[in-house]
Structure 1
């Protein structure tokens, strides 16, 4: 299955609890950390929820 690389670009400090939990669910714990997740509709939805804190790495 296809994968997506995402990178956390901003701190989760000050973000609502649900967004913090979404970052943890994606596997992101630190700024500049890059993780590779499967390209599924549920993961796309989580990325969309925290789009202002992450970016897609090409």
Structure 2
């Protein structure tokens, strides 16, 4: 005896509902934006904080490929995303600890 599928909702049946929900969410977001008075569509640039006190300039000189996930995460936490990328960080113990985890991937220059 052949097994018959139970009649029910298929993916095609669910798609219009998902589209409708997404459209409602966009409309609600637009209404909130209009109500707040902010009609600008430009993205806001992130402003880097001004560092006071001693700093360290770190440059990534080797690829993160082939390294452990913890080391990759440490590079990301230091603000380094690609070879040649440089970031200036405050000279604090937690930053120093991160630098000690990945000395083979970075070049360090002392700041102020």
TM-score, L = length of structure 1: 0.95
More strand by share: 1
Q: Secondary structure at the match of 1:23?
A: helix
Alignment of 1:1-58 (within 5 A): 1-57=53-109
Gaps of 5+ in 2: 1-52
TM-superposed CA distance for 1:57, in Å, is: 3.2
TM-score, L = length of structure 2: 0.50
What is aligned with 2:41? none
* Aligned positions, number: 58
TM-superposed CA distance for 1:20, in Å, is: 0.2
What value does the CA root-mean-square deviation take over the aligned residues?
0.9
**Rg (Cα) greater in structure:** 2
Gaps of 5+ in 1: none
Following superposition, which runs of at least 4 residues in structure 1 exceed 6 angstroms of deviation? Answer: none
